[in-house]
Chains A and B, each alone.
Chain A
Amino acid sequence: DTEVTQTPKHLVMGMTNKKSLKCEQHMGHRAMYWYKQKAKKPPELMFVYSYEKLSINESVPSRFSPECPNSSLLNLHLHALQPEDSALYLCASSQEGRGGNTEAFFGQGTRLTVV
């Protein structure tokens, strides 16, 4: 099983809402990632968790709050977002590390629209 599962697939939220994106993998990977992807652009790294600890925060605004409840799950809590935060949010996982030197597997993404 090389699958990374993200829910929901689509999300529309108002600027005052609080919502969460969820990601799950059962490959035994110890590194998990959140990426943001705007249209016609490559994915941009947001956060990296390694062994359930936050190891990289790419200066992401605090309105995005990651959480790693256990080695299989990764959440991204959203609060007070702006319309420019609308994008495809991708979760990925790899055996370990920061994602640069090992195979990374991506989920299908959550298409987020902030209104």
Chain B
Amino acid sequence: GENVEQHPSTLSVQEGDSAVIKCTYSDSASNYFPWYKQELGKGPQLIIDIRSNVGEKKDQRIAVTLNKTAKHFSLHITETQPEDSAVYFCAAPNRDDKIIFGKGTRLHILP
């Protein structure tokens, strides 16, 4: 079945620096890759997604890149701010069209 590996599990960056979270997937048929941000006590919030017909997508300080050949995709957050502190999940669909989440990355923005 589909397997989504996410790294690192914890990431601390200085405020203003960039953060990068990486995911790999196993099913070459996967074609939709969302990223979710989950703050403490809240549900996951979709922050950006990418489909397999593009290699990069950007929304203000957040960008996602996709390498279909290597089967990996990454979340890039630039000019990090305290409110970026949260748990981030990548995801990909399996062949049954069910979403499979990575294990999550806890991002700490240091003052």
Chain A residues at the B interface, C-beta cutoff of 8 Å: 4, 6, 40-43, 45, 48, 56, 90, 92, 97-109, 111
Give every chain B residue within 8 A of A104 (Cβ-Cβ): 34, 46, 99
When chains A and B are docked, how far (Å) is the Cα of A107 from the Cα of B42? 8
What is the distance, in angstroms, from A59's C-beta to the closest C-beta of chain B? 13
Choose the segment among B13-21, B61-69, B71-79, B100-108 that binds chain A (4+ C-beta atoms closer than 8 Å).
Answer: B100-108
* Contact A98 B44, CB 8 Å, known A42-B89, A42-B102: no
Across-interface contacts of B36 in A (CB, < 8 A): 106
Q: Which residues of B contact A (CB under 8 A)?
A: 31-32, 34, 36, 41-46, 49, 89, 92-94, 96-104
Query: A4–B45 Cα gap in the complex (Å)?
Result: 11
Set of chain B residues within 8 Å of A109, measured between Cβ atoms: 42-43
With the chains together, A26 CA to B105 CA distance in Å?
A: 31
- Find chain A residues with CB under 8 A from B100 CB: 100
> Closest 9 A-B residue pairs measured CB to CB?
A100-B93, A42-B101, A106-B43, A98-B97, A100-B97, A101-B32, A99-B99, A100-B99, A108-B43
What's the count of A-B pairs with C-beta under 8 Å?
63
Q: Residue A90 contacts which of B31, B43, B92, B98 (CB distance < 8 angstroms)?
A: B43
- Minimum CB–CB distance from B53 to chain A (whole Å) comes to 13
Once bound together, how far apart are the Cα atoms of A95 and B89, in whole Å? 21
Partner of A103, one of B46, B92, B103: B46
B44 touches A90 (CB 8 A): yes
